[in-house]
Every structure is written in structure tokens, then in C-alpha cells.
């Protein structure tokens, strides 16, 4: 990589994160840009180089190209105060409509198929790691980053409770676990400890190198597992994603409340707190008009006076 740009990129990310920004994808985005610039002998950021990098790969969605350029623009804006040779790519240079993806809501059989695909991974520890992570996300609705950020001390498996610390919005919360979920976590922890009896990392879920799982790698493995399990996109905007396990959890919770005859509206703050949202308003993002949910909601509505019975 271009030594100067790579060093500055690391400094930039350190400053932004010190201000509270997480910037999970920026490590590999800016690393890729610095490598691209180095291959072209560029020692400073120019609009031409930034644009050439941002528009790769050819044929990708325009919003992805725009997002790549936005990452470089933020870096360039910061770097321009240090190196006046830096060019800041103009805003609006790449126009991409940011369209919300349609969530892929999984049925139980699909989740089981993906977990079975994980079980087929050659390494027993790696197989157990991904099978357990996917299962945990499915039954708790946790964020992916929250799951891989868990430390051993966050899992009180004698009391069947997980503590999610300093998650999004700086909030922490405790999640009670079903006994079967806690048993699955204990089985994984035993296998993990046999492989790493004196671990260097406090992480609950570990890679084969004995380190914490990497966010982007987890997504890549999940994508491969969905293909191995035979899951296919339902449309151009509805593809199996790891984050959709969280959507599925939220929608399934509402459906179960409807089926049990429980009042749903007063329970939304409970779901919001469980998911770690700042307010119930944030939870509505996860509640989608799937046919099953609409049917149950309609059944609760009283007919209008004079309307059909």
C-alpha cells in the first residue's frame, strides 16, 4: 500500500472512532483505496484516482459506487487540512439512489438449512463457531457486531443470561436465554476451550487463529453458507443477508403475540428494549408488512359500522 496514505488513513480512522464513530467497513474500504492509489503511483488523493477506484467493480449498483466515493471523500476532507495537495472529490459526483433492501425473512427450515451447511465446514471449531453464531442471532435478534463483540465474561451460562455491553447508541442490556440456547453456548465454549486452553483473546467466539471474529468475514462466510443451503434471492432487492435474521426475529415476535391473543402495541417498547433500540420508533424499521403479519393485524380490527361483517 501507499505508505503515506495508509498511515494517514489509520490516523483518520483513529480520530473518527475516538469521536464515537464505529466505521466498521471503512478499514477495508480505505485499505483498498490506498492499495489502488499505490498501484498507480499516487502519493496524494486526487479526484481522478478516487473516482477510478470508486467505480469498481464495473456493473455494481450505483449506490455502491457512491458509497465508496463517500468513504474516500470523508478521508480526503480530513487529510486536506494536513496536506494541501489533497483534492476533495465534489459531492454529487456519483449519484446513487440509496434504496432500502427488502428484508429476506427466513422460515425455520431455511435457518436450519444454513446451520446445517455451517456444520459441514471442515474445521470442527470453525463449524461450531458459525453454527452457534447463526443460531444465536436467530433466537435473540442480536446485531452481528454485538455477537462477535461478546467476551467470555458477558455470558453467564449458569444463570442463562447474556450481557451486551456498550452496543449501538452506547446502550448495554441483558438478554435472558432459553435453556436450549444456553446449552448450545456451553457446548461451544467447551470445544473452544479445548482448542484454546490459554487464549490470548477474551472473545467468546473465536477464529482458528485464536482471535475475535472479523465482522466482514462473518458476512462473507454467511453468504457462502446460504448458497450451500440452496437459498436464492427472491428478487433483485431481496437477497439472503445475515442482518435479516434480526428482521426475522422482530417480525416473528409480533406474529407470536398475535397468535397468543396478546395486546401488541403495549409490548412494542419491550421488543425495542430487547433489540437495543433508542426508542420504539426505531423498532418500526424492522416491522415489515409481510402477509402473515397483515392478516393477523386485520383480524384484530373491528369492522366499520355498516361495513361488511
Could you list the active site residues? 143, 168, 243, 246, 277, 286
CA distance 140 to 177: 8
Cα Rg of the chain, angstroms: 23
Amino acid at each position: 500500500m501507499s505508505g503515506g496514505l495508509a498511515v494517514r488513513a489509520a490516523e483518520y480512522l483513529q480520530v473518527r472512532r475516538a469521536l464515537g464513530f464505529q466505521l466498521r467497513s471503512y478499514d477495508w474500504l480505505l485499505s483498498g483505496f490506498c492499495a489502488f492509489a499505490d498501484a498507480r503511483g499516487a502519493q496524494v488523493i486526487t479526484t481522478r484516482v478516487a473516482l477510478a477506484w470508486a467505480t469498481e467493480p464495473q456493473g455494481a449498483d450505483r449506490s455502491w459506487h457512491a458509497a465508496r466515493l463517500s468513504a474516500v471523500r470523508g478521508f480526503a476532507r480530513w487529510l486536506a487540512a494536513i496536506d494541501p495537495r489533497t483534492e476533495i472529490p465534489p459531492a454529487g459526483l456519483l449519484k446513487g439512489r440509496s434504496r432500502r433492501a427488502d428484508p429476506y425473512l427466513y422460515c425455520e427450515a431455511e435457518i436450519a438449512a444454513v446451520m446445517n451447511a455451517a456444520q459441514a465446514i471442515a474445521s470442527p471449531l470453525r463449524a461450531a463457531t458459525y453454527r452457534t453464531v447463526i443460531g444465536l442471532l436467530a433466537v435473540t435478534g442480536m446485531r452481528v457486531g454485538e455477537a462477535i463483540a461478546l467476551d467470555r465474561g458477558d455470558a453467564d451460562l449458569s444463570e442463562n443470561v447474556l450481557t451486551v455491553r456498550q452496543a449501538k447508541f452506547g446502550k448495554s442490556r441483558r438478554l435472558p436465554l432459553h435453556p436450549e440456547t444456553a446449552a448450545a453456548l456451553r457446548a461451544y465454549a467447551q470445544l473452544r476451550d479445548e482448542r484454546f486452553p490459554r487464549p490470548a483473546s477474551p472473545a467468546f467466539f473465536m477464529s482458528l487463529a485464536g482471535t475475535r471474529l472479523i465482522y466482514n468475514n462473518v458476512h462473507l462466510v454467511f453468504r457462502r453458507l446460504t448458497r450451500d443451503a440452496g437459498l436464492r434471492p427472491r428478487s433483485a432487492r431481496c437477497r439472503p443477508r445475515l442482518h435479516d435474521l434480526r428482521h426475522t426475529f422482530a417480525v416473528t415476535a409480533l406474529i407470536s403475540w398475535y397468535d397468543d391473543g396478546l395486546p401488541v402495541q403495549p409490548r412494542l417498547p419491550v421488543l425495542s428494549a430487547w433489540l437495543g433500540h433508542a426508542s420504539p420508533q426505531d423498532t418500526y424499521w424492522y416491522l415489515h408488512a409481510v402477509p402473515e403479519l397483515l392478516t393477523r393485524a386485520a383480524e384484530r380490527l373491528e369492522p366499520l359500522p355498516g361495513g361488511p361483517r
